[in-house]
Structure 1
Amino acid sequence: MTDTIVFDLETKKDFAEVGGREHLEKLEVSVLCAYSYLSDKFYAFEEKDLGRFETMLASAGKVVGFNIKGFDLPVLRPYFKLDPLALPVLDLMDEVVSGVGFRVSLDNLCQTTLGAAKSAHGLDAVRWYREGKIEEIKKYCTDDVRLTRDLYEFGKTNGHVLFLSRDQAGRVAIPVRWGVLGARDGGLKKILEEAFARKKSVEIDYVTRSSDRPDPLRKTRLVDIYKLDGDFFEGFCHLRKSPRIFKIERVLAAKLTALPYEIPGEAQTKLL
């Protein structure tokens, strides 16, 4: 059985000390913490122990983290024989950006989704390293791994995570597909196009944007598509029993049914 590893790392130096973000490989690892699903244990590695972590990664079926493609994995490259960027990686940051269109901090996501905040920040860990407080770094890094794991689990179960919007629009749901088997964006669009062309109802797994409603954000809906328009489609929602506009990026999965439909005359006139 292959393992799923969730990890995070802290560095000895900050960006100012190494000449900017383009020199990630010079930051040097102070502490790396990981969670193994196979053993159900947390691990803390200091720089001298990173070879043991490389062994864990080599047999992992999935490596999970937050912004690890853009930060953690490049930082690790000087330490490993294997190429960290070639690993089977699920970067939660990438999924969030894909779902909402911009970066959202781990702290925002965890506070809004889980009701749990980060215990410190990366620059605190750099300062602690200078002060020789390695155990403080291990505790903070382990806390971040736990938050990342819990965020991953929430998204896998619910098909979305939540963040507090920058424009004060309240809590917003971000659809995530890391727990969904089946079509991703390209395949989804083909299914929707086929449903529209053949005039067959389509069953969609859909995440509503607003989290202010009391009912669940993720629902299965049966839709008769009236119009496909770029990133959106319009159709009759059998759940709401009225026409609705849907955003394709909020569809987690879609399944073509054998149920035929016709576009009502008034809807055809409206769509012209």
Structure 2
Amino acid sequence: MRDIVFFDLETQRSFSDVGGASNKDKMGMSVGVTYSTKLDEYRIYGEADADALVNQLIRADLVVGYNHIYFDYPVLQGYTIYDLAEQTVNLDMLLEVEKELGHRLKLDALASASLGSGKSADGLDALRWWQQYKKTGDHSWVMKIAEYCAFDVKVTKCVYEYGVEHGFLKYEDKQGQIQEVKTDWA
């Protein structure tokens, strides 16, 4: 059976905390989450488990994410000597949609129009939760990040499956009209 691994991570620090987007490897991972089609399970990784996360991604037949090539991988790069973008087989849905449309869309925009529901929070919430965890030591804040990140992975998986099944994704354009973007992922 082919192992498709859906992947997302949240960070400990923002771009401004690390001196800009060119320093993603200094942002630190707070939580990473995967869903494996072969294992039929979600896995949650803390910073101490970054090696196990990297190993799962490298072993996957396909890694599916949303902006994982230019964001998640560079963050994770701070924990490994592997060149993740080169040593994995990837479908970055953001890059594929951008190729078709000539501009970027948020995952939430595709999920809302295609699936009828979007994300549960955003990365800035996850950063605030991490700061609360660092301040209080209360692990319930890390669990909130894990839950949010796992939901993002589920949304990523559902958007991917919709694109495979239908050959397109829906989104709302600037005039509020529902449009379609072709997906050739089957």
TM-score where L is the length of structure 2: 0.93
Residues 248-267 of structure 1 aligned to structure 2 (within 5 Å): none
Aligned partner of 1:89 in structure 2 is: 90
Aligned partner of 1:140 in structure 2 is: 148
Q: 5+ residue gaps in structure 2?
A: 134-140
Shift of 1:68: 0.7
Aligned partner of 1:21 in structure 2 is: 21
Matched-pair identity in %: 35
1:21-56 CA distance string (max 9 Å, x none): 111111110000110000111111000011111221
Instruction: Please identify runs of 4+ aligned residues in structure 1 that moved more than 4 A.
Output: none
2:155 matches 1:150: no
1:56-85 CA distance string (max 9 Å, x none): 122111000000111001111121232111
Aligned partner of 2:42 in structure 1 is: 42
Cα distance between partner residues in 1 of 2:175 and 2:102: 14
Counterpart residue identity of residue 55, structure 2: T
Cα distance between partner residues in 2 of 1:18 and 1:57: 25
Contact kept, 8 Å, 1:113 with 1:161, in 2: the verdict is yes
Residues 184-263 of structure 1 aligned to structure 2 (within 5 Å): none
Cα distance between partner residues in 2 of 1:10 and 1:57: 16
Cα distance between partner residues in 1 of 2:57 and 2:19: 29
Cα distance between partner residues in 1 of 2:2 and 2:184: 21
Cα distance between partner residues in 2 of 1:2 and 1:29: 27
Aligned partner of 1:178 in structure 2 is: 185
Q: 5+ residue gaps in structure 1?
A: 180-272
Contact kept, 8 Å, 1:111 with 1:117, in 2: the verdict is yes
Greater fraction of residues in helix: 2
TM-score where L is the length of structure 1: 0.64
Q: Which has the higher contact order (CA 8 A, sep 6+)?
A: 2
Cα distance between partner residues in 1 of 2:66 and 2:31: 16
Aligned partner of 1:100 in structure 2 is: 101
3-state SS of paired residue (2:154): helix
Which of 1 and 2 has greater Rg? 1
Greater fraction of residues in strand: 1
1:71-128 CA distance string (max 9 Å, x none): 0011111212321111111000011111211100011110010011110000100110
